[in-house]
Each structure stands twice: as C-alpha cells, then as structure tokens.
C-alpha cells in the first residue's frame, strides 16, 4: 500500500506540470460539453480530437482523452434532468426521475445529487483502478499468445451479443472490422496485403480517419437532417442547488450502492456503463421502502443518485482491461487505445514498469478531474446548457472543421480525408439501420493483437488443438465466449419447440 501511495505521489508531481494540468482541465470541460450536447458522445469527441493529440506529449494526450471520457458521464445528466433529453446513453435512466424533479421545482437538488454521486463514484472507481490494475497486470505477465487470443475473441463475441444488433449482422460487422485491420503489411512477414497498388494503404487504414468518420462525420449527417429543436432550457439559480437534509439522507446509500454495483460492470465487454444504470435503478426500486417505491418514475431522488453513480463507476472499471491487459472492452476505451498507439505506448502488463509516469499521472488526473468536474458543473450549469442555444449549423460546421483539419494533420494525406468521408457515410447508414458502429471500430483496433496472437498460438501448438488443454485460462475464456453466443439461440429453440408440442398435445386431447 505504501508503494501505491508513493507511486500516486509521483503521478501528482507529473500532473502538476502546467501542460498536464491544462490537458486535464480542457478534457473535463470538453467532456462536460459533449455530455450536454445530445448525440455526439465521448467516442465521437475523442475520435475528432484524436489527431489533435499528435502535437501533445504522451502523458498530456492520454490525460486529455481520458478527461473527455469520464467528463461526459457528468455532463449527460444535465440535459436529462433539465430537458428530458439525455445527452448521453448513460443518462437515459437519469431522465426518468430527474426531469420529474425539475417539473416539481427541484432541478437544482437533482443536479447537485447527480454531481456529488458522480464525484463519489469516480473517486471510488479510481481507487479500485489504482489497486486492481497493477495486480491484474502482474497476473497478466504470465499470459501468453493463447490467453491474449482468447481475451480478444471473448471481447469481440460478447460485444457482438450485447450490442443489441441481430447476431448475424453483429458478427458480419465485426468481420468487416477485422478485415479492415488486415489491410497493410502482414505483422509477421511484412508482405503487403489488400493494398490494390495504393501506396497510401501500405501502412494500413488510418484509425483516426475511420473513427472520426464513423462517429464524428456520421453524427454531422444525422443531426443535419433533423429539423426538430430542443425544448427551452429551464434556468437554475446557484442558491437552488442545495438539496434538503431529507434529500441528502435518501441519496447517500444509493450513491454507495451504485458505485459498488457499477464498478464490476466496467469489466464486461460492451455498453457496460449503460447496463449499469438500468441495474442500479432496478436495485434501488427493490431495496426502497414500500412507501417510496411508488415514487419511482415520479421524482424519486434515489433514481437519480444510484444510476449516476453507477455509470461513473463503470467508466472507471472499464479502464482496467485496457490498462492491465491492453484490450479495450468498450468503444471509449478503444479510442483511448488509439491514443496510446499514436504515441507508441502499449498498454498492458508491462505498461506500469515501462511507462510509470503515464500510468500514475493518468490515475492522479482522474482524482483531480473528478473534483474539477464537481466545481465546474454546478456553478456553470447555466453556461453549459446555454450551449444548446447555439444554432445547429454553427455546431456542425465547427465539428466538420475540427475533423478535417485533425485527420489531415495526421499524415498530411488527402487519402485519409477520403477514408474519413467514406467511413462517415457508412456510419450514417449504420445509424439509419439502427446498427452499432462500435462493432466496426473495436475489431479494427484490436485486429493486430488478435492476428499476432493467433499466428503465435498456431506456431506454439504446431497445429494441434490439444495445446489449448494445457492453457486453462484460454480454454475457459473461449468456452465462455461460445456459451454467450450459442446459449441464447439454444434457449430460443427450446422455447419454440415447447409451444408447438403443447399445442399439438391440446389438439390430440380435443380429438378424443
């Protein structure tokens, strides 16, 4: 424990450098704005700003991108509570009771409880990240290619199952993402693949261009065709932000429960933060006294405190697989992996020993960033919501300019701009058909890891499948992945056969 505190002190000493402090402040402010603006989301914002981080030091770049990620968890609650318009998918549940509190004149109390709950959960999850990531990293030092292959396959298949898309379509999108990851030089032989004579493709498809297109440009296309405006913003005065003693009393336990419940959800591939909010809401309804249970959906403050804490805790938990194993389980952490890759840093078991300044400065920035968010989000709630009054055209043009300049600056390549536009069209079409673009970007990010670990596993096993029997961790993960994919289909088939058999039995009984 003393070593952890000493390392944390090192992280704060690095964080206090002016450029790192500024990166943390800019990250959490942008994250709050992204959370307030419906639609863009942390993934889109991180994708748009990913090329901009080329001009920053690795530490500042990671601090900035991480600030956008966990900062958006705060901002999303603002529009959910005030306008009943979730700025983030993680704030959908918050809108249920949060907006009802606004109608009852308690918007300030809901905002305050959401902010304090986010601070508490963010701090506790950062403590968990600080304690568990190094421990898991130490265990992962014993992992070989089979284990990393199993983790990659497990994360892809589970994400495909949890994405909400039909399984065949989800697997098809994941396959396309993996195919795009193979463009360029072979990781083992160096032979060019699928370049079609284009020199620009020799280095592979630029991640930043695809990410900006799928999330940033596609969002511009989607928002541009919408004509409906947002409801009028309800002003909240600073003196109205203080909850009553009864409201505080009813909020603390849900905050703690949401923090404890949400953190392990971050270790699950897929939209972990969104799932954690629904789980927290259901938990609060179950543990609430009978006289308060009827208030849920009508302005129960527990319905704000618990889910807001859960989504922030899940965001912290989602950092563990990325930092300890080097594999992202969610789209925002995939963008963070892109930031690491751009700066030639490989997250995983060796990161803490090879780049301790980046790891511990990131941990320190998350502690400080959560405090910054509380200080910023409550007094400046009026400023953040006023962003919604800007003309939609101005916001869209601003996103386009940042996207084009950022992507072009990566390689000074017009070809990358073409990739960005093509990815934007694909992302727009995916949204029209209600498919998840994350299923394209995550395989593209971890495709190299998957391919390299697969080739190494084949070489080590000499083509013998029995080799996996000697690797119990890999075997268990592959078995779990298979269960996740096959079990729902089996259960559906069983339910389908039971119904006809029951009907036929009834028919036979009617004949006699």
Q: What is residue 134's predicted lDDT score, i.e. its pLDDT?
A: 84
Residues written for the chain = 512
Q: What is residue 466's predicted lDDT score, i.e. its pLDDT?
A: 80
Tell me how far CA of residue 106 lies from CA of 98, 242, 374, 478, 487, in angstroms: 9, 10, 19, 49, 46
Q: What is residue 510's predicted lDDT score, i.e. its pLDDT?
A: 40
Q: What is residue 504's predicted lDDT score, i.e. its pLDDT?
A: 44
The residue ranges of every structural domain in the chain are 2-496
Q: What is the mean pLDDT of each run of 10 residues along the chain (512 residues)?
A: 77 91 91 72 77 85 89 76 68 81 82 87 89 82 84 80 75 88 79 81 82 79 69 56 82 91 80 78 85 82 89 87 83 84 84 87 91 79 64 75 76 86 91 82 81 87 81 86 78 64 42 38
DSSP-assigned letters across all residues of 336-384: HHHHHHHTT---STTHHHH-HHHHHHHHHHHHHHHHHHHHHHTTTHHHH
What is the spatial distance between Cα 431 and Cα 180, in angstroms, rounded to a whole number?
A: 20
What is the spatial distance between Cα 427 and Cα 215, in angstroms, rounded to a whole number?
A: 7
DSSP-assigned letters across all residues of 500-512: HHHHHHHHHHHH-
DSSP-assigned letters across all residues of 100-144: HHHHTT-HHHHHHHHHHHHHHHHHHHHHHHHHHHHHHHHHHTT--
Alpha carbon 31 to its chain centroid, in Å, reads: 13
Q: Which residue matches tokens 């990393």?
A: 148
């Amino acid at each position: 424990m003393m070593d952890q505190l000493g390392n944390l002190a090192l992280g704060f000493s690095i964080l206090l450098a002016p450029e790192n402090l500024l990166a943390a402040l800019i990250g959490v402010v942008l994250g709050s704005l992204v959370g307030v603006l419906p639609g863009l989301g942390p993934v889109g914002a991180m994708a748009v700003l990913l090329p901009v981080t080329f001009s920053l030091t690795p530490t500042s770049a990671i601090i900035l991108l991480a600030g956008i990620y966990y900062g958006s968890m705060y901002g999303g609650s603002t529009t959910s509570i005030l306008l009943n318009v979730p700025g983030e998918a993680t704030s959908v549940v918050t809108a249920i009771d949060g907006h009802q509190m606004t109608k009852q004149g308690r918007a300030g109390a809901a905002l305050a409880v959401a902010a304090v709950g986010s601070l508490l959960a963010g701090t506790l999850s950062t403590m968990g990240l600080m304690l568990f990531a190094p421990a898991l990293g130490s265990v992962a030092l014993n992992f070989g290619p089979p284990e990393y292959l199993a983790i990659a396959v497990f994360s892809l298949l589970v994400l495909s199952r949890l994405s909400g898309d039909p399984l065949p379509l989800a697997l098809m999108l994941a396959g396309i993402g993996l195919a795009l990851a193979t463009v360029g030089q072979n990781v083992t032989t160096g032979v060019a693949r699928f370049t079609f004579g284009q020199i620009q493709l020799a280095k592979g498809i630029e991640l930043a261009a695809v990410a900006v297109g799928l999330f940033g440009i596609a969002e511009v296309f989607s928002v541009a065709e919408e004509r409906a405006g947002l409801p009028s913003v309800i002003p909240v005065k600073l003196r109205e932000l203080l909850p009553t003693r009864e409201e505080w009393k009813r909020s603390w336990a849900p905050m703690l429960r949401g923090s404890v419940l949400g953190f392990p959800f971050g270790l699950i591939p897929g939209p972990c933060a969104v799932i954690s909010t629904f789980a927290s809401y259901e938990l609060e309804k179950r543990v609430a006294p009978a006289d308060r249970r009827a208030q849920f959906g009508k302005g129960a403050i527990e319905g704000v405190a618990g889910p807001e804490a859960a989504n922030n805790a899940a965001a912290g938990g989602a950092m563990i697989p990325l930092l300890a194993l080097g594999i992202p389980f969610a789209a925002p952490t995939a963008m963070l992996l892109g930031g690491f890759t751009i700066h030639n840093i490989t997250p995983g078991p060796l990161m803490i020993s090879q780049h301790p300044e980046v790891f511990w400065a990131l941990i320190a920035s998350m502690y400080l960033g959560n405090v910054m968010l509380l200080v910023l989000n409550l007094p400046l709630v009026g400023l953040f919501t006023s962003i919604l009054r800007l003309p939609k055209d101005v916001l869209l043009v601003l996103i386009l300019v940042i996207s084009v300049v950022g992507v072009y600056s990566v390689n000074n390549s017009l070809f990358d701009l073409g990739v960005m536009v093509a990815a934007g069209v694909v992302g727009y079409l995916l949204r029209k058909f209600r498919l998840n673009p994350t299923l394209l970007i995550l395989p593209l990010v971890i495709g190299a890891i998957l391919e390299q670990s697969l080739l190494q596993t084949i070489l080590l096993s000499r083509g013998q499948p029995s080799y996996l029997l000697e690797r119990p961790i890999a075997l268990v993960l592959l078995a779990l992945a298979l269960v996740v994919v096959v079990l729902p289909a089996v259960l559906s088939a069983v339910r389908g056969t039971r119904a006809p058999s029951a009907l036929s039995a009834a028919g036979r009984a009617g004949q006699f």
